[in-house]
Structure 1
């Protein structure tokens, strides 16, 4: 998924630990082979190839993942949109960009972006992208989903505790060997030597979206990889958003949405998800918390 995964489990011996960690790796690879828009053999790639042509029958797992993503689009009025993948040729965050895209280029590209042009047929389990050159991608929820599924697999196999960490999007369960909660540091992009906050959790999901790892710079201005679907421009105003709750896929969708919406509308959005809390760092260096932050931390500890 273009990201590093770290898997930590509590086990009686190294042999069983290695066996179970390999099972999680296999599960992550299985999910990547299903949802990656970069793998030509994936079902998502098949959906994208048939944009404007015909519906594509997909596994229920991918259908449901898409359906949940569209529910985020509905509740955020399009601030979250998996069809933003159509912008992949406009914004590149691999150091190959030499100039900002023109306004005309952006306008043409966002014509292919719009969740309302994603048509789902539940009876047939098909996905249809109505416009030619449309694309969908799961960069905003895929890692969280993989972390959730890795945790679920381990719980089903009675592994008592661990962390599946998808480049900062984490699903935790159980406790450390000494029965204390897991201690998770929330990165401070302004001062990397000091965490914004250290939280203690047992069964929890923690995801962070930010502008400080994948970005391009022009004229001393940073442009992040999180794109506003309505403008085609990178989101601005916030440096990072960390969401804490029960499910990493949901937390992932929320942290991305809040980056686009900004802190005021983002905190309003979070009121619809009372089991989730957030910590926001603005581009002015101010830290903002949702009102339920301490309450949720206490529940997850």
Structure 2
């Protein structure tokens, strides 16, 4: 199953600038492959800049007529490059790796931006009653989702990883801007929030630039932030979501209209494996220490719109972990969010069920 995503782009290129076209008509797919001309009145040229990063790729879309469009797009992608070097667990010299290696020995000073992110991550954990937890890196490793091979862990190894997991082991001190762990072996992993954070920081470099009326930045087609409008009528960016149950990846789930708004999507698609007749996805429920089960009350995919990509990224993960009842109770407290909960179709020949919550009723057009 593929997660809800933007219409499929061209292959990744490390540093590739090209021009596409985006039409103002909502009667055709609103986000096009690079180089496609819609032929609709009022179509505008877009400059697209792409770069690999964080295990996926990031893309910046700007109206090509924007002054210094290529330079602005490069600046935004450079921000993401720098953050990858800080946030990744795959480089031993990153700041996050240094924290994981030494914070059990005593307080470790943290760069201000990363400290704010960690503080925000802990707040999300509290708000979601543990459905989101930034300190379950040990669990991801024991299941083989971080470095592989993917596997059902030995019960003793799983219990040991559970003992090393959870934000209750993480202690932040804002006065000294330090972090410490209360035991060895705790592993922070920002995979559920890092892309969103990077998108927010990249977007900050584009705000209030002369002549820039709109920009869209996405990471791996599952996280994005939309600034302003691409140019026509000031109605926002149209985002085509694809049906996650369609093997061809062509069937439309519907369209989101976003302006100064972010989106995050989660689904148990990547790094999935099967063992003993059961499917295991890479998204782990921090409260059980096991992958989220494929059950009737769990969604196949979740799309969240929010005021920041950091929040949309983290909460799409949390809502995927929650049961239907837990999600309903959480969303009752957050009417500012837009949420699509995508559940299995009632019959195999039907599209998935889409539960539309909060602001998504104003942002989402099905079909």
CA distance in 2, matches of 1:88, 1:7: 30
Secondary structure of the 1:27 match is helix
Structure-2 residue corresponding to 1:287:
354
* Aligned counterpart for 1:117 among listed residues 169, 177, 201: 169
Please show how residues 129-278 of structure 1 align to structure 2 within 5 Å: 129-158=181-210, 159-167=212-220, 168-179=222-233, 180-191=235-246, 192-236=249-293, 237-278=298-339
Which protein has the larger Cα radius of gyration, Structure 1 or Structure 2? 2
Deviation at 1:53, TM superposition (A): 1.0
CA distance in 2, matches of 1:70, 1:94: 21
CA distance in 1, matches of 2:315, 2:146: 25
CA distance in 2, matches of 1:197, 1:213: 22
TM-score (structure 2 length as normaliser): 0.75
Deviation at 1:32, TM superposition (A): 1.4
CA distance in 1, matches of 2:95, 2:327: 32
Residues matched between the structures, number: 296
User: Closer, same or farther in 2 for the Cα pair 1:271/1:214, shift >3 Å?
Assistant: farther
Structure-1 residue corresponding to 2:21:
none
Q: Structure 2 unaligned segments of length 5 or more: list them.
A: 1-53, 346-351
Greater fraction strand: 2
CA distance in 2, matches of 1:163, 1:197: 18
TM-score (structure 1 length as normaliser): 0.91
Deviation at 1:263, TM superposition (A): 2.6
Deviation at 1:221, TM superposition (A): 3.3
Deviation at 1:3, TM superposition (A): 1.9
CA distance in 1, matches of 2:194, 2:208: 21
CA distance in 2, matches of 1:23, 1:70: 30
Greater fraction helix: 1
CA distance in 2, matches of 1:94, 1:60: 26
User: Closer, same or farther in 2 for the Cα pair 1:225/1:270, shift >3 Å?
Assistant: same
Please show how residues 13-92 of structure 1 align to structure 2 within 5 Å: 16-92=68-144
Are the aligned partners of 1:51 and 1:133 in contact in 2 as well (CA < 8 Å)?
no
CA distance in 1, matches of 2:344, 2:143: 21
User: Closer, same or farther in 2 for the Cα pair 1:17/1:222, shift >3 Å?
Assistant: farther
CA distance in 1, matches of 2:121, 2:150: 32
Secondary structure of the 1:197 match is strand
CA distance in 2, matches of 1:24, 1:72: 26
Render the CA deviation track for 1:50-84: whole Å, top value 9, x for unaligned. 14211110111111101110011112221111001
Range 127-136 or range 102-111, more displaced: 102-111
Render the CA deviation track for 1:15-48: whole Å, top value 9, x for unaligned. 8222111101110011112222222222211110
Render the CA deviation track for 1:231-258: whole Å, top value 9, x for unaligned. 2211132211000122111111111111
Are the aligned partners of 1:47 and 1:55 in contact in 2 as well (CA < 8 Å)?
no
CA distance in 1, matches of 2:143, 2:56: 18
Deviation at 1:92, TM superposition (A): 2.7
Structure-2 residue corresponding to 1:6:
59
CA distance in 2, matches of 1:102, 1:40: 27
Secondary structure of the 1:82 match is coil
